[in-house]
Structure 1
Amino acid sequence: MATFNTFEDIIAWQKARELCKLINVYTGYHAFSKDFKLVSQIKGSSGSAMDNIAEGFERGGNKEFIQFLFISKGSAGEVRSQLYRALDNGYISPDEFQKAYNLADEVGKLDRGLISHLKESELKGDKYKK
Structure 2
Amino acid sequence: MKPIDDHRDLAAWRKAISVGGKVYMATRQLPLEERGDLGPLLRGSAVSIARHIAEGAVRGNRAEFLQFLHLALRSLSQLEAQMTIVVDQGLLPTDASALNDLTELGQLLTELIQSLTLSGRQAHARACSPPLLPRKMPRTPAPLASG
Do Structure 1 and Structure 2 share a fold, with TM-score over 0.5?
A: yes
Cα distance 1:33–1:56, how it changes in 2: closer, same or farther (>3 A)?
farther
User: Percent identity among equivalent residues?
Assistant: 30
Cross-structure match for 1:108: 106
Contact preservation (8 Å) 1:77, 1:105: no
The unaligned stretches of length 5 or more in structure 2 are: 125-147
After superposition, where does 1:11-50 map in structure 2 within 5 Å? 11-29=11-29, 31=31, 34-50=34-50
Q: Looking at both structures, which has the greater relative contact order when contacts are Cα pairs under 8 Å and sequence separation is at least 6?
A: 1
Task: Give the drift of 1:93.
Answer: 0.9
Cross-structure match for 1:9: 9
Task: Give the drift of 1:101.
Answer: 0.8
**CA radius of gyration, larger in:** 2
- 1:121 alignment partner, SS class: helix
Cα distance 1:30–1:84, how it changes in 2: closer, same or farther (>3 A)?
closer
The unaligned stretches of length 5 or more in structure 1 are: 125-130
- 2:68 alignment partner, SS class: helix
TM-score, with length taken from structure 1:
0.84
TM-score, with length taken from structure 2:
0.75
More helix by share: 1
Task: Give the drift of 1:35.
Answer: 3.2
Task: Name segments (4+ residues, structure 1) moved above 4 Å.
Answer: none
Task: Give the drift of 1:79.
Answer: 1.1
Which whole-Å CA distance do the structure 2 matches of 1:79 and 1:54 have between them?
18
1:69 aligns with 2:74: no
Instruction: Kindly report the root-mean-square deviation, in angstroms, between the aligned alpha carbons of the 2 structures.
Output: 1.9
